[in-house]
Every structure is written in C-alpha cells, then in structure tokens.
Structure 1
Amino acid sequence: MLFHVAMTVKLPRDLPAEEAAGIIAREKAYAQDLQRQGKWRHIWRVAGQYANVSIFDVSDNDELHQILSGLPLFPFMEIEVTPLLRHPSAIREDDS
C-alpha cells in the first residue's frame, strides 16, 4: 500500500544542541535504512520548513504506524497520513 505522509518537526527550543544532533543522526540512519528496504520510496524537503513530504510503500496501516512511531524524531513531529490508490488514468504500470 502506498501512503503520502507529511511530517513537520518541532524540536523544543530548550532541547540541548548535542541531544538534538544525536536524535537527528539516528533519524537519518533509520530513514536511509527504510529507503534501502524500499519502504520509504520518496522523500522531499519542504522549502523553508523543517518538514518533508514522503511516499511509503508498506503492507498495511499497522506497518506504517510501526515505522512512523519508530522514528527518533516522532515525539517532536506533526504527521498527516493519506492512503493512495492508483488512478485509473495513470499510464505508468510500475508505480502502484
């Protein structure tokens, strides 16, 4: 199943810089591993914000929930999830 996921990060201003850097480094490693597995298919930065728009390809809602709740930045995120379905007018067969 494909999901459009919009994530906005809101780190507390009083979070120590060293702690924030550690969380961000763990987040990057986790995200890149999911990309290598093909579960996090696309990620785009939203210009001017600490935010991204991503496409996940997972088996079901539960798997997506497990992945998102496992993000090191999860406690500091606002997340919006939209399930995606193939459009009947789409011409590409390899993007379902």
Structure 2
Amino acid sequence: MVYVVEMEVNIPESWSQEKLADYLAREKECSQKWQSSGKWKYLWRVAGKYANISVLEVDGPDELHQIISSLPLFPYMNIKVTSVCKHLNAIRETII
C-alpha cells in the first residue's frame, strides 16, 4: 500500500540546544534507515515550515504506524496520512 504522509514538527521551546541536537541526529539516522530499506520512497521538505511530505510503500497501516512511530520526534508531530493508488489514467506504473 502507498501512503502520502504529511508531518509537521512542533519542537518544545523549552528544549536546550543539546537536547534538540540529540533528537535531530537520532531522527536523521532513523529516517535514513527507513529510506535505505526502500519502504520510505520520497521525502520532501515543505518550504517555510518545519514539515515534510513523504511517500511510503508498506504492507499496510500497521507497518506504516510502526515506521512513523519509530521516529524520535513522533510525539511532537502533527501527522496527516492519505492512502493512494494508481489512477486509471496514469501512464506510468509507479506513482512518482
């Protein structure tokens, strides 16, 4: 199943620079692990926001939840998930 996932991060203002740097390093490592696995197909930054739009191809909603909830910043995110499939008029086999 293919999902478009919109994530907006809300970092607490009370965090120290050290805590923020730790979370960002762990977030990068985790997200790159999932990208390398082939499950996390695309990752785009939303201009002007601390947000991204991602495309993940997974076995189903349980696996999707496993992946996004493994992100260290997951508790600080607003997340919107949209399930998508190939349009009948699409000329390509893949969504992107």
Secondary structure of the equivalent of 1:30?
Answer: helix
Structure 2 Cα separation of the partners of residues 28 and 44 of structure 1: 14
Aligned twin of 2:93: 93
Question: RMSD in angstroms over aligned alpha carbons?
Answer: 1.2
Secondary structure of 1:23 counterpart: helix
Tell me the SS of whatever aligns to 1:92.
Answer: coil
Aligned partner of 2:81: which letter? Answer: V
Structure 1 residue 50: Cα displacement: 0.2
Q: 4+ runs of 1 displaced by more than 6 Å?
A: none
Question: Structure 1: which 5+ residue stretches go unaligned?
Answer: none
Alignment TM-score, normalising by the size of structure 2: 0.96
Structure 2: distance between partners of 1:3 and 1:61? 9
**Counterpart residue number, 2:39:** 39
Aligned-pair identity (%) = 49
TM-score by length of 1: 0.96
Gaps of 5+ in 2: none
2:26 is matched with which residue?
26
